Amino acid sequence: MSHRVLLRKLGGLFLPPEANLSLDSSEGLLARAVVQAVIEQLLVSGQPLLIFLEEPPESPGPRLSALGQAWLGFVVQAVQVGIVPDALLVPVAVTYDLVPDALCDIYHASAPLGLWTGALAVLRSLWSHWGCSRRICSRVHLAQPFSLQEYIVSARSCWGGRQTLEQLLQPIVLGQCTAVPDTEKEQEWTPITGPLLALKEEDQLLVRRLSCHVLSASVGSAAVMSTAIMATLLLFKHQKGVFLSQLLGEFSWLTEEILLRGFDVGFSGQLRSLLKHSLSLLRAHVALLHIRQGDLLVVPRPGPGLTQLARLSAELLPVFLSEAVGACAVRGLLAGRVPPQGPWELQGILLLSQNELYRQILLLMHLLPQDLLLLKPCQSSYCYCQEVLDRLIQCGLLVAEETPGSRSACDTGRQRLSRKLLWKPSGDFTDSDSDDFEEAEGRYFRLSQQSHCPDFFLFLCRLLSPLLKAFAQAAAFLHQGQLPDTESGYTEQLFQFLQATAQEEGIFECADPKLAISAIWTFRDLGGWRDGVSLRPWDLLGVFQQHTW
């Protein structure tokens, strides 16, 4: 109770447990009125307001918090009705070497991580590690602030048509057509709570998009910690073990690649000491063997520890996401043409059409969860495909193959830009971008034959492999038949299936309940199950397997 009093004096607002802000109970209506009045008073007086938009890392379900979006909806409503003329939003990113333990049941958590729960988790973590040599570090980054009023005006100007995942991809999975629609995907995994239900449908969409924009900005400014880099190297490059002397060079290389992409790192100091500190934090998941000449052999422990390494490595995915999507798209084109383990020189012989690359990138773009991609506001599908292709060229994986009569890959096409883009009305950048797909006809690429390309290509593919393999195993699970009747039953049984498969095949990085939930929800949106299995799961299995390594 003393901690609760202290946090209250520091500005914490505590509501009774039954006050879930719902509109169908007197307690919820009262709590909503209290929260709304407090937020309005804070905004009018110019006081800062801290809103947690993300769920705890260990909690299942969507990444964005329904309750956090409800609080953000109060702020949006206060600006729209004129209680305050504007509000300055500052996305905040907090990263840890290791996330403090949260009091959260993996299947029965009903509330997001609140201020009291978070503070208690931190206090427990500090107490459990008091006097130990393991020191956990955290970094707080503030992203570029932006005006809420300006966002509301600009966001409404670029809303285009949206289609469900079933409308976008089910005909392609079933072989009924080959063209992937260049249309924004409609995917709402976060439940709409009472306060958002009180808003108009257009305002609900505004709050959801604003939440994704804030999350994208915070992820883009977050620092990459040393444990994430170490987990990534051990999981995707050295599952059979590696010497510390070799890790020194690879850790330095991966750090440079992160900095070159405009991301920050949350560590400094002597490299060897830094690696030893990271290994001490990961000692529950790795085995350290001392050998002669003072070197150290680092071996990831087989079993559930690989799942923890996969969770840590996921923090590195935003840095290489565009390249990883592009590498998996190339992998999808190569599947069926050359053996997966064939020589790199043989794969480099094949010509890759830009149209085919766009199609594979669009396919992955629609399949991957929106809270993973976190596209920029008003970014069309064509612009994202071009960004992915540019990244593959910049990192040296793809080389343009000039053919007679084709436009050079380095040609900026100034006449085309002035004719098609510069004279468009504001906000008219989404509907006609598909015309640019036709201009990609005749452009071809090859895989580069530089010495570093095979390892880097494999590394990029493996960054997305836990998610894509979990989706492929979910398709195999649906093919078994005798499935439960409820969504929670699907999720629980799929997680058990992933665990059993991990024991048999050693793919422990996929045995994660969050991946199981993402797979079930993606298949639900795709029409894989609803009132019985309407989509053949083996068709889905082929879609995911061709993009994994």
| pLDDT tens digits along 446-466 | 888 888 888 999 999 999 999
Max intra-chain CA distance, the chain: 77
Q: How far apart are CA 62 and CA 66, in angstroms?
A: 9
114 contacts 122 by C-beta, under 8 angstroms: no
Tell me what pLDDT residue 420 has.
43
5 contacts 14 by C-beta, under 8 angstroms: no
Report the 10 Å Cβ neighbour count for 500: 12
Tell me the percentage of the chain whose pLDDT exceeds 90.
Answer: 30
| Higher local confidence (pLDDT), 181 or 224 | 224
Q: How far apart are CA 68 and CA 50, in angstroms?
A: 10
Q: How far is CA 279 from CA 8, 52, 129, 147, 292, in A?
A: 38, 31, 16, 42, 19
The tens digit of pLDDT for each residue in 154-176 reads 887 776 666 777 777 766 666 66
Q: How far apart are CA 415 and CA 329, in angstroms?
A: 30
pTM surpassing 0.95? no
Q: How far apart are CA 517 and CA 502, in angstroms?
A: 17
Say yes or no to pLDDT of 512 above 80. yes
**Cα separation of the two ends of the chain:** 52
Closest to 192 (Cα-Cα) out of 213, 207, 177, 214: 207
- Altogether, the residues listed in the chain come to a count of 549
Tell me what pLDDT residue 50 has.
87
Helix (H) or strand (E) holding 183: none
Q: Which two tokens stand for residue 473?
A: 């195993």
Closest to 468 (Cα-Cα) out of 537, 367, 397, 385: 367
366: CB partners within 8 A, 6+ apart: 165, 168, 169, 180, 185
33 contacts 41 by C-beta, under 8 angstroms: no
Helix (H) or strand (E) holding 237: none
Cα dihedral 40, 44, 45, 50, rounded to 10, equals 50
Q: Which two tokens stand for residue 358?
A: 């766009």
Say yes or no to pLDDT of 108 above 50. no
In the predicted model, what is the mean pLDDT of the chain? 78
Question: Helices 201-221 & 66-80, crossing angle to 10 degrees?
Answer: 110
516 contacts 495 by C-beta, under 8 angstroms: yes
Say yes or no to pLDDT of 372 above 90. no
Evaluated on CA atoms 245, 250, 251, 256, the torsion sign reads positive
Tell me the percentage of the chain whose pLDDT exceeds 70.
Answer: 69
531: CB partners within 8 A, 6+ apart: none
The tens digit of pLDDT for each residue in 241-261 reads 999 999 999 999 999 999 999
| Higher local confidence (pLDDT), 376 or 73 | 73
Say yes or no to pLDDT of 222 above 60. yes
Q: What is the 3-state secondary structure (H, E, C) of 133-175?
A: CCCCCEEEEECCCEEHHHHHHHHHHCCCCEEEHHHHHHHHHCC
- Burial (0-12, 13-18, 19+ Cβ within 10 Å), 135: exposed
87 contacts 95 by C-beta, under 8 angstroms: no
The tens digit of pLDDT for each residue in 55-105 reads 877 677 678 888 888 889 999 999 999 999 999 999 999 888 887 654 333
Q: How far is CA 62 from CA 144, 206, 210, 424, in A?
A: 25, 18, 16, 37
| Higher local confidence (pLDDT), 106 or 219 | 219
Name the residue with tokens 């000491």.
Answer: 273
Q: How confident is the model at residue 533 (pLDDT cuts 50, 70, 90)?
A: very low
Say yes or no to pLDDT of 426 above 50. no
**Segments making up each domain of the chain, as ranges:** 3-99+138-171+190-218, 223-312, 453-542
Which CATH code of 2.30.30, 1.20.1730, 1.10.3470, 1.10.10 fits the domain covering 223-312? 1.10.10
